[in-house]
Amino acid sequence: MSQENAKPLFGGVEAGGTKFICVLADSRGFIKARVDIPTTTSDETLAAVRDFFIKTAPEFGQLAALGIVSFGPLDFNPRSPTYGYITKTSRPGWSNINLLGFFKDSLNVLVEIETDVNSSAMGEFTEGSAVDCENFVYVTVGTGVGAGIFAGGKLMQGISHPEVGHMMVPVAREDEGFAGSCSFHGNCLEGLASGTAIHKRWQTHPKNLLENHPAWDLEAYYLAVMCVNLTWMYAPEKIIFGGGVMVRSHLYPKIRANLKKMLCGYAHDAALSDMDSYIIPTALGGDAGITGALALARRVYLEARNA
């Protein structure tokens, strides 16, 4: 019994524009407590998150570590004086907020912070579509396009996290003249294939576009271009899709067919001959982020223990 009580508890926070999801879980990811806190002012919201973990302690025990997934932009450079801060955001009152430091100081626990897309990739790795592989790419296509890249069982991180969404792609002939929607690059991948781009091009929300609308052929073309680039660059075992646009399941066969054509038979691995298991949807859906936050907490705890 005492051994049972000694098992570490992990916290996860998924910080979003409308709510902060907070969970307390055991080492297997079993949720012991959960609360959704509305996103209001930074002071009020962060205090409510902190209080959730303080108030649950008498019943469940002290946190061993906390994983935080947050909207950005965030400073992920460990050498930077503002590491772990939400930097400059258009969200009023949320710029220059020391997210990492606030929880480290107020809860006195190990804290790990990650982008929402990297965290979702981590969730897929620990409990989702990528439990059986160490090399994969998780791509989210929603209002933006982003990707977390796993290589050798670890998230790739260079001078910052990879920015797959902003790769340049050849513009489809039928799309010439469309300026794109990326405020930095115009017609980068995100500017051509995000939900925002679809909305701008067709002047309606993507959910209003029927399956036979030409929007989806164009979308599948751009996502297949991304997939072929990711395939040659990272040789992943799988490419997993999530995000609001990718709930449209009719996109998958189109992406696979386009990709197969673009690979031109220049494939070195048998994995590429089975497109149905190469291009796949998320197994966790909307839970990928919070699942990843808990995985982050476990990772930082184990790293500290093994250090």
In the complex with Zn ion, which residue's Cβ is closer, 70 or 194? 194
Residue 182 binding Zn ion, by CB under 5 A: yes
Pick the piece of the chain touching Zn ion (CB under 5 A) from 53-61, 101-109, 182-190, 199-207: 182-190
Given the rule CB under 5 A, which of 104-112, 181-189, 215-223, 298-306 is the region that contacts Zn ion? 181-189
Q: How far is the CB of 145 from Zn ion (least distance, A)?
A: 9
Residue 238: beta bridge partners? Answer: 136
Which of 34, 104, 166, 248 touches Zn ion by CB under 5 A?
166
Q: Please state, in angstroms and rounded to a whole number, the distance separating the CA atoms of residues 231 and 279.
A: 11
Taking the least distance from each CB to Zn ion, the nearer of 223 and 280 is: 223
Please give the backbone phi and psi of residue 279, each rounded to the nearest 5 degrees, phi first.
-105, 105
Taking the chain, what is the end-to-end CA distance rounded to the nearest angstrom? 28
* Residue 188 touches Zn ion, criterion: CB under 5 A: yes
Rg (CA), the chain: 20
Binding mask 73-112 for Zn ion (x = CB under 5 A): ----------------------------------------
Integer CA distances (angstroms), 87 to 49, 50, 66, 73, 261, in order: 20, 21, 21, 6, 42
Q: Does residue 193 bind Zn ion (CB under 5 A)?
A: no
Which of 192, 188, 256, 195 is CA-nearest to residue 228? Answer: 256
The one-letter amino acid code at 51 reads D
* 31-39, 106-114, 158-166, 298-306 -> range binding Zn ion (CB under 5 A): 158-166
How far apart are CB 134 and Zn ion at their closest, in Å?
29
Task: Report the site for Zn ion in 201-240 (rule: CB under 5 A).
Answer: none
Binding mask 46-65 for Zn ion (x = CB under 5 A): --------------------
Rounded to a whole number of angstroms, the minimum distance from the CB of residue 80 to Zn ion is 23
Stretch that binds Zn ion, among 16-24, 34-42, 63-71, 179-187 (CB under 5 A): 179-187
Number of residues this chain uses to bind Zn ion (CB under 5 A): 6
- CB of 184: closest distance to Zn ion in angstroms? 5
Q: 216-244: b or e for each residue (b if 16 or more CB lie within 10 Å)?
A: bebbbbbbbbbbbbbbeebebbbbbbbbb
Q: Which amino acid is it at 247?
A: V
Smaller CB separation from Zn ion, 182 or 288:
182
DSSP 10-71: EEEEEE-SSEEEEEEE-TT--EEEEEEEE---HHHHHHHHHHHHHHHHHHH--EEEEEEEE-
Question: At 105, phi and psi to the nearest 5?
Answer: -75, -45
Nearer to Zn ion, 197 or 228 (CB): 197
The answer to whether residue 185 forms part of the interface with Zn ion (CB under 5 A) is: yes
Chain centre to alpha carbon of residue 85: 18
Does 19 sit near Zn ion (CB under 5 A)? no
Cα separation of 291 and 121, whole Å? 10
Query: Taking contact as CB under 5 A, which single stretch among the options 49-57, 87-95, 185-193, 284-292 is the one that binds Zn ion?
Result: 185-193
Structural tokens at position 15: 């910080």
Residues that bind Zn ion (CB under 5 A): 166, 182, 184-185, 188, 190
